[in-house]
Amino acid sequence: MDPKTQAIIDRLVERSAAPRQREIPAEVLEALSCGWIESKNLVEWLSVDRRVLLKALSSQLSIELSPALLAIIDDRQVLSSLQLSKRIAIELAAILPPTDGRFKSLEQHTSDVVREWGALIVGRWDAMAFSRRLAWIKPFAMNSNPGTREIAWMALRAFVAEAPEKTIAKLIPWTGSRNDRIRRYASEITRPCGVWCPHIDRLKNEPQLGIELLEPLRSDESLYVRNSVANWLNDASKYSPDWVLDITHRWERESPTPQTKYIVKRALRTLRKKNR
């Protein structure tokens, strides 16, 4: 990269994020879509031209675009940012298997959207055990960008929906991690309702399947984790209220800490609203 472009990038890294799409400067839009900088908020993330970014990535990593990827670039169909990323990831997964060294470049890419594609690819590789997928997704689950971390759990959520008991058993060790992003991942990916994703009916109706995963987090020191655990229980309270009441009452007795108190209060917000 030439010094002039690098100087522009260095300046843009220090920018304040625009609150509205129409207020994003043209040079920021260009840098985002070329993969030179990462988005700083949802507004910027939505503004990334993923088709332009795909062409830039193919040049950077010498990826020969398949007919399907070329069709995505040429297709002017209106898709949401996430839908388009999912389409791109499906095709990239066939080009970049785990054995391809270029996949590591996605994990470490400057663009959070490219890292997002990397996470989605992990969920699209064929014939891979869930434990291996977890090993591959871990760097994305620990990523500094919150958007990348959200995509990371979405990428593997379908496997949890398909086999809750089996996948939860593999996630339980993550609750003992020193990294709160990893602990939170274990909770967030298994939320009965979740956000921007299909619900997991088994966990809505049988939330007890997740209790071994939730128990180690009931007094977590991290607010990031506590909010996820509370939201998990709040999801379950809409379908299995008695179970949630039993769990939260027991936690209050067995773990009288400020952290547990916070989780319980937030977990019961929907039930308390109904009882007013």
Average pLDDT over residues 204-220: 97
Please give the Cα distance from 182 to 173 (Å, whole number): 10
C-alpha gyration radius of the chain: 21
Instruction: Give residue for tokens 């090993």.
Output: 135
Instruction: Convert the chain into a string of H (helix), E (strand) and C (coil).
Output: CCHHHHHHHHHHHCCCCCCCHHHCCHHHHHHHHHCCCCCCCHHHHHHCCHHHHHHHHHHHHCCCCCHHHHHHHHCCCCCCHHHHHHHHHHHHHHHCCCCCCHHHHHHCCCCHHHHHHHHHHHCCCCCCCHHHHHHHHHHHHCCCCHHHHHHHHHHHHHHHHHCHHHHHHHHHHHHHCCCHHHHHHHHHCCCCCCCCCCCCHHHHHCHHHHHHHHHHHCCCCCHHHHHHHHHHHHHHHCCCHHHHHHHHHHHHHHCCCHHHHHHHHHHCHHHHHHCC
Please give the Cα distance from 1 to 197 (Å, whole number): 38
Instruction: Single out the residue of 211, 232, 220 nearest to residue 261, CA to CA.
Output: 220
Q: Is 37 exposed, middle or buried (0-12, 13-18, 19+ CB in 10 A)?
A: buried
Q: Are 236 and 248 in contact (CB under 8 A)?
A: no
- Return the pLDDT at 257: 97
- Return the pLDDT at 1: 67
The whole-angstrom distance between residue 92's C-alpha and the CA centroid of its chain comes to: 18
Average pLDDT over residues 114-119: 97
- Return the pLDDT at 221: 97
- Return the pLDDT at 99: 92
Instruction: Single out the residue of 71, 143, 131 nearest to residue 106, CA to CA.
Output: 143
Average pLDDT over residues 43-69: 93
Per domain, the residue ranges of the chain are: 163-276
The whole-angstrom distance between residue 15's C-alpha and the CA centroid of its chain comes to: 24
Specify the CATH number of the domain 163-276. 1.25.40.290
Average pLDDT, the chain: 94
Mind listing the pLDDT tens digit for each residue in 62-87? 999 999 999 988 887 778 899 999 99
Q: Is the pLDDT of residue 260 over 80?
A: yes
φ, ψ (nearest 5 deg) of residue 268: -95, 10
